[in-house]
Amino acid sequence: MVDENLKDELILIRNKVNGLLEKLADWTTKFVNNLPDNSFAVLAPGGKKDDEGKTVPRTLRFLPHHGMNVKSGNEDDTVDIPHLRNALARVSQISYKAGISKAEAHLEKHAKALEIGGRKKMAEEYKCSCIKCGYEQTYSDHCNLQTCPKCGGQMRRIERPGPGQPTQQENMELKALMEKADIKEETIKKYFEK
């Protein structure tokens, strides 16, 4: 019988290690393209296998969450925790709609086995505002996937605007400076189009 205190301590250590690994979890497109098919939650039909046994085109493979050394998609010890979390968050957004329920069941099985919680626990609401007009609304999906219902502009998180996305205050300050310097918006657009 496993000592419960030891088990709890090991889970805490694993979670700390996974937190550190999340910082190193940047998988390039080249790396993902080289992963075996078993690394993905679901494969869309219609592809062929290349000489390495991987599906082509690669766009038919969805939600990578196993590392390179995976033998079977059902094993839990090769799951990359940050990418499993990402796959759980994105499962409803994949273009292969017929595969969503299969992918979700597969990912949830891993999440339960690894005691990291499931998609239901990870769900949250996002307070978003339009970069163009400042309209605010709450969504259950990420803000950058939304368009403003008023003006059609790009939405962003109110709490933390992404890099390169100005806050409403910064937009107003920039416009005031442009007016002071008598700089027209068209002039700036032409400059950046060069």
Model confidence pLDDT, tens digit, residues 16-37: 665 554 444 568 888 899 999 9
Q: What is the pLDDT of residue 121?
A: 39
**Does the pLDDT value for residue 110 go beyond 60?**
yes
Q: Dig out the tokens for 11 from the structure.
A: 């889970």
The H or E element that residue 62 is part of is: strand 61-64
* DSSP secondary structure letter of residue 181: T
Higher pLDDT, 166 or 48: 48
Given pLDDT bands bounded at 50, 70 and 90, which one contains residue 118?
very low
pLDDT value at residue 51: 94
Q: What digits encode the pLDDT tens for the residues 160-178?
A: 665 445 556 666 776 777 7
More confident residue, 43 or 177: 43
Concatenated DSSP letters of 126-140: EEEEETTT--EEEES
SS3 7: helix
Confidence bin at 145 (pLDDT 50/70/90): confident
The tokens for 190 are: 């032409």
Q: Among the residues of 24-122, which ranges form H helices? A: 29-34, 81-90, 100-113, 119-122
Domain ranges of the chain: 4-121, 126-193
Whether 42 contacts 62, CB under 8 Å: yes
If one compares 36 and 124, the residue with the highest pLDDT of the two is 36
- Report pLDDT for 52: 93
Q: Give the per-residue pLDDT at 23.
A: 43
Q: What is the mean pLDDT of the chain?
A: 79
Which long-range CB contacts under 8 A does 92-97 form with residues at least 24 apart?
93/141, 93/145, 94/42, 94/62, 94/63, 95/62, 96/42, 96/44, 96/60, 96/62
